[in-house]
Amino acid sequence: MSEADTSFVPQLDARQRAMLAEMGVRVWAPRPVAATAPAQNETAKAAVAAPAPVVARAAPVAPPASAAPARAVAPAAPTVAAPVADVAQVPRIAGVELMDWATLRDTVAGCTACGLCQGRKNTVFGVGDQQADWMIVGEAPGENEDRLGEPFVGAAGQLLDNMLRAVGRSRSGQGAQGSYIANVIKCRPPANRNPQPDEVARCEPYLARQVALVQPKVIVAMGRFAVQSLLKTNEPIGRLRGKVHRYEGVPVIVSYHPAYLLRTPGDKAKAWADLCLAMDTLENA
């Protein structure tokens, strides 16, 4: 397609443009025509319908000065593999798979299954619409999350909020505007170190139950710990992206962790493509 061919260019609203700019994606589009503006859902769909590479070019942008990763030790580069926990070797917390939301939340709040409970201020359970069709899975709480008891509230969380906004969703929205956000690990690892395999394995039933209760139509797994936990693979993120994987029958889209994107803004365009794939997957579910 030549650059002059605008037939695949989506009409994006100001919010989506801001998000794409944030993600380092430069969008070329004709001047808006003085016609009825499409509804927000339609613009979001238009963004998905057009393959990202056709309409967007990645342009590395410097992260804003305030965009330091929330976690002092941000998730490692996504090409580095870490051992996947041998879940079979770890004693399971009884009955998690039958718990309702209230019991699950209380159980997590009182969990002492691993040493992370010793250093936590709060457990970080999850946030969002418990019936959302769209679920985000991250890694583990950092300092801000530990203090506030809510996932993704630091700099990485701001980027995640922007990414959600770009697909017409938020952590407080409901239904088609909603999402549910949870981490693999519910307690902050000391000094924000990487979670250990046994910690992942002990915490895993909680995430599994959250997924079973939410019953999302798509999961976006952000970062290698989310990916390893859900997909049980050591494959690097770069090799898993762009395909639809499955966790307990639910489609899983693999993407980069927002903290990684803050350090590597050149990859934000790929993350946008991942969100588009997630939207596409949801639409076809």
Which residues contribute to the site for ligand URA (CB under 6 A)? Answer: 70-71, 124, 138-142, 145, 151-152, 156, 183, 259
How far, CA to CA in Å, does 61 sit from each of 25, 43, 53, 212, 272?
A: 9, 24, 17, 38, 14
| Least spacing, CB of residue 177 vs ligand URA, in Å | 21
Residue 12 or 163 having the CB closest to ligand URA: 163
Point out the residue whose Cβ comes nearest to ligand URA. 138
Q: Using CB atoms within 10 A of its CB, is residue 233 exposed (0-12), middle (13-18) or buried (19+)? A: middle
SS3 of residue 145 by DSSP = helix
| Least spacing, CB of residue 124 vs ligand URA, in Å | 6
Residue 151 or 251 having the CB closest to ligand URA: 151
Residue 39 or 109 having the CB closest to ligand URA: 109
d(CA 146, CA 188): 6
| Least spacing, CB of residue 184 vs ligand URA, in Å | 8
| Least spacing, CB of residue 257 vs ligand URA, in Å | 6
Residue 52 or 160 having the CB closest to ligand URA: 160
Residue in this structure with the two tokens 């079979």, named with its chain if needed? 88
SS3 of residue 222 by DSSP = strand
Residue 195 or 216 having the CB closest to ligand URA: 195
Residues 66, 72, 112, 157, CA torsion sign: positive
| Least spacing, CB of residue 35 vs ligand URA, in Å | 42
